[in-house]
Amino acid sequence: MPKELNLNRVSMPKQGPKERAQNFREVALGYEEKHALDEAVRCIECKKRTCTEGCPVGVDIPEFVAALRDKNLPEAVRILKSKNALPGICGRVCPQETQCEEVCTLAKKGAPIAIGRLERYVADWELLHNSQNTPEIAPPTGKKVAVVGSGPAGLTVAADLARRGHKVTIFEALHIAGGVLMYGIPEFRMPKNIVQAEVDYVKSLGVEVKLDAVMGKISTVDELLESGFHAVFLGTGAGLPMFLRVPGENYNGIYSANEFLTRVNLMKAYLFPEYDTPIKKGKKVAVIGGGNVAMDAARCALRLGASEVTIVYRRSRTELPARLEEVENAEEEGVVFKFLTNPVRFMGDDKGWVKSMECVEMELGEPDASGRRRPIVKKGSEFTMDVDTVVVALGTTPNPLVPMTTKGLDTTDKGTVVADPETGKTTKPGVWAGGDVVTGSATVISAMGAGKRAAESMDAYLKQQ
């Protein structure tokens, strides 16, 4: 007899908007056992696993959900981690609504299984019960691999190759591993102890992590290959900020989102003076852009004590690239959205600090190359907004250091590394690449998917050598 559909999706407990807008603690509190079981029991274990097909790393979703429903948590962890080394991270920041949950059979009825929340529950259970089980690791192959960058792409390729018996060393430019998860995404969305636990898990597979190691400065890719590494993976991300390039953009008080978020998250400016990182605590803050990065910057500014935070976006609400959940969270906390608006110049005071910005109103024309409707300036629509802090969150491109110092590595005119989308192979023999350095700024799970595909291809190459 077919199972009766239960369409009561269990909501995520959260801190209230007023309370959370004043602290950096995690907003989403996570399911308790009862919530998780109530949600897991809704899964109808479809024959055609559209959910698994929708997951870029192919997690066996119905199996891990069934193990959770049967209260066999160690088995749920095992199934999850056999495909995804970073479930606590993905359960928090992956856009499930456009991946596994979008294609879940119950999505047609408006109530997909909350796969991300269940993934987070299982990962957090493992951490809480300190029950990390190390998966099977193949005998040593004698092959050495260098991974440049320790973001989700680098960590995934490293974990998958280590499990296949290869000796992996990660070289990371910063003093801490984790990439954007550590330096960009704020604590209230991505607690750093979770990232650290998942980095530690990758290390427990035998991966060595060398910090403060800027490739292209301390050594080149060619030198790595000459010094005994049999293959190299480039997962250096896209950490170079883009600017508006309008007059006055150099005034004090105008930050790139990269600098602003790195100061707040990595260098813990929100705990100043306990941590020795200063940041301007603006009262009237404007954040330019409409992606996840803009939402994070706006919500950080609010938590630092701003009385007015405005997101200024040149298209309309429909085109906002940020996750809907994050837009709603920002609005609930009091962030104001000014759509169809673009800054054209900044004005400063006699001490060189920004004090206002001139904006123009926009209207939408025909779709452009991105598929979104092109914003067009409305003539005579100039107006001025008072601001004392501005955060520019317009996107990022890859840092050119590694491509510039690597002979034979082709890049596109956008500065991304050219790599085969199926295998991650670059134009340089023995070198693979994946994640934001290839696609430009994208998502955690797409970087992980690229890491998985590259690991497959690198493993085949290493076995042939």
Q: Which of ligand SF4, ligand FAD, none binds 216 (CB below 5-8 Å, type-dependent)? A: ligand FAD
Q: How far is the CB of 12 from ligand SF4 (least distance, A)?
A: 17
Q: Which of ligand SF4, ligand FAD, none binds 104 (CB below 5-8 Å, type-dependent)? A: ligand SF4
Q: Is 6 near ligand SF4 (CB under 6 A)?
A: no
Cβ proximity to ligand SF4: between 6 and 405 the closer is 6
Selected binder of ligand FAD within 80, 180, 357, 391 (CB under 6 A): 180
Q: Which of ligand FAD, ligand SF4, none binds 113 (CB below 5-8 Å, type-dependent)? A: ligand SF4
Number of residues that bind ligand SF4 (CB under 6 A): 14
Q: Is 391 near ligand FAD (CB under 6 A)?
A: no
What does the block give as tokens for 374?
Answer: 């092109």
In whole angstroms, what is the distance from residue 249 CA to residue 255 CA?
9
In whole angstroms, what is the distance from residue 2 CA to residue 324 CA?
33
Burial zone of 203 (CB within 10 Å; 0-12 exposed, 13-18 middle, 19+ buried): middle
Selected binder of ligand SF4 within 67, 94, 106, 393 (CB under 6 A): 106
Q: Is 237 near ligand FAD (CB under 6 A)?
A: yes
Q: Which of ligand FAD, ligand SF4, none binds 154 (CB below 5-8 Å, type-dependent)? A: ligand FAD
Sign of the four-CA dihedral 321, 323, 324, 329: negative
Q: Is 300 near ligand FAD (CB under 6 A)?
A: no
Contacts of 141 (CB under 8 A, 6+ apart): 164, 165, 166, 462, 463
Q: Is 149 near ligand FAD (CB under 6 A)?
A: yes
**Farthest-apart Cα atoms in the chain, separation:** 77
From 105-113, 214-222, 315-323, 436-444, give the range in contact with ligand SF4 by CB under 6 A: 105-113
Selected binder of ligand SF4 within 37, 44, 266, 377 (CB under 6 A): 44
Cβ proximity to ligand SF4: between 109 and 378 the closer is 109
Q: Tell which positions 446-465 bind ligand FAD, by CB under 6 A.
A: 447
Neighbours of 288 (CB within 10 A): 25
SS3 state at 121: helix
Burial zone of 338 (CB within 10 Å; 0-12 exposed, 13-18 middle, 19+ buried): middle
Q: Tell which positions 57-96 bind ligand SF4, by CB under 6 A.
A: 61-62
Cβ proximity to ligand SF4: between 10 and 113 the closer is 113
| Helix 115-128 with 192-204: angle, nearest 10 deg | 70
Q: Tell which positions 379-408 bind ligand SF4, by CB under 6 A.
A: none
Q: Side chain identity at 165, as an amino acid letter?
A: G
Residue 341 pairs with which residues in a beta bridge?
361
Q: What is the dihedral of CA 187, 192, 195, 200, to 10 degrees?
A: 180
From 102-110, 144-152, 153-161, 236-244, give the range in contact with ligand SF4 by CB under 6 A: 102-110
Q: Is 424 near ligand FAD (CB under 6 A)?
A: no
Bridging pattern class, strands 231-234 and 254-256: unpaired
Q: Is 153 near ligand FAD (CB under 6 A)?
A: yes
What does the block give as tokens for 294?
Answer: 């803009």
Selected binder of ligand FAD within 87, 239, 289, 343 (CB under 6 A): 239
Cβ proximity to ligand SF4: between 96 and 416 the closer is 96
Q: Is 87 near ligand FAD (CB under 6 A)?
A: no
Q: Tell me how far CA of residue 169 lies from CA of 10, 113, 227, 326, 449, in angstroms.
A: 42, 38, 13, 35, 20
Q: How far is the CB of 70 from ligand FAD (least distance, A)?
A: 30
Selected binder of ligand SF4 within 6, 15, 50, 141 (CB under 6 A): 50
Q: Side chain identity at 20, as an amino acid letter?
A: R
What does the block give as tokens for 362?
Answer: 């926009």
Q: Tell which positions 216-235 bind ligand FAD, by CB under 6 A.
A: 216, 235
Contact 358, 335 (CB under 8 A): no
In whole angstroms, what is the distance from residue 210 CA to residue 177 CA?
9
In whole angstroms, what is the distance from residue 245 CA to residue 222 CA?
36
Picking from 81, 90, 231, the residue whose alpha carbon sits closest to that of residue 152 is 90
Q: Is 195 near ligand FAD (CB under 6 A)?
A: no
Q: Is 403 near ligand FAD (CB under 6 A)?
A: no
Q: Which of ligand FAD, ligand SF4, none binds 267 (CB below 5-8 Å, type-dependent)? A: none
Contact 240, 203 (CB under 8 A): no
Cβ proximity to ligand SF4: between 12 and 240 the closer is 12
Q: Is 152 near ligand FAD (CB under 6 A)?
A: yes
Q: Which of ligand FAD, ligand SF4, none binds 301 (CB below 5-8 Å, type-dependent)? A: none
In whole angstroms, what is the distance from residue 56 CA to residue 435 CA?
13
CA gyration radius for the chain?
A: 23
Q: Which of ligand FAD, ligand SF4, none binds 160 (CB below 5-8 Å, type-dependent)? A: none
Query: Which residues sit at the interface with ligand FAD, rule CB under 6 A?
Result: 93-95, 148-154, 171-174, 179-180, 184-185, 213-216, 235-237, 239, 261, 292-293, 296, 323, 399, 401-402, 435-437, 441-445, 447
